A = this chain, B = another copy of it.
């Protein structure tokens, strides 16, 4: 494995785990010694992370861990809703039976992960990611895939899922199931509208959990 890949993986996981706090400045030198590589591959890794919005850069090229306002996140969900529902429409027109089987497989895994008193959120997240990835493959649009790869911020997806209660996890599974049905029937419009609802619901789940938490201190202070 290349040094820049190691640096990328390491920095990314440090951001996700919170070892690097949101908004913290990240110097190339510090990361290089942390990862045991030189600055050159760190610079490559930072570019990739910037592309995926894990990292932001000031006009003078200093890097910081990205932190997102609720407005930013809203914007992301709006665009995801538009683009992923478009992907679902295309997938309905093009998905192979093999791809449909893979969707069914991953959703079955999601059901297993969810249908328990102690849901396995990590398994849910992994199969959810793969489920959406199969739909994107079926949509057969490399540009769309590239855009969504940059738009879907895994930290947000992860927080959203961790805030789901049992009922919401189950609903997510059922929506996937209906999506599979729509795609199997080659009904692009149906697939599109289910996907849009799926994403919008996720947004409101996120906003309820995080938006309100921000307002709470204000209310307490008042």
Contacts and interface: CB of A to CB of B under 8 A. Distances in A.
Interface stretch (A25-33, A140-148, A157-165): A140-148
Contacts of A83: 79, 82
A72 interface: yes
Nearest to A48: B47
Contact of A144 (B79, B86, B143): B79
B82 A143 contact: no
> Which of A75, A143, A150 lies at the interface centre, i.e. has the most chain B CB atoms within 10 A of its CB?
A143
A143 B47 contact: no
Nearest to A151: B143
Given A47-B47, A51-B51, A143 B86 contact: no
B147 A147 contact: yes
Nearest to A76: B143
Contact of A143 (B72, B141, B142, B143): B72
Interface in A66-89: 72, 75-76, 79, 82-83, 86
A82 B75 contact: no
Nearest to A86: B82
B47 A79 contact: no
A84 B79 CA distance: 12
A144 B51 contact: no
A144 B75 contact: yes
Interface of A: 47, 51, 72, 75-76, 79, 82-83, 86, 141-144, 146-147, 150-151
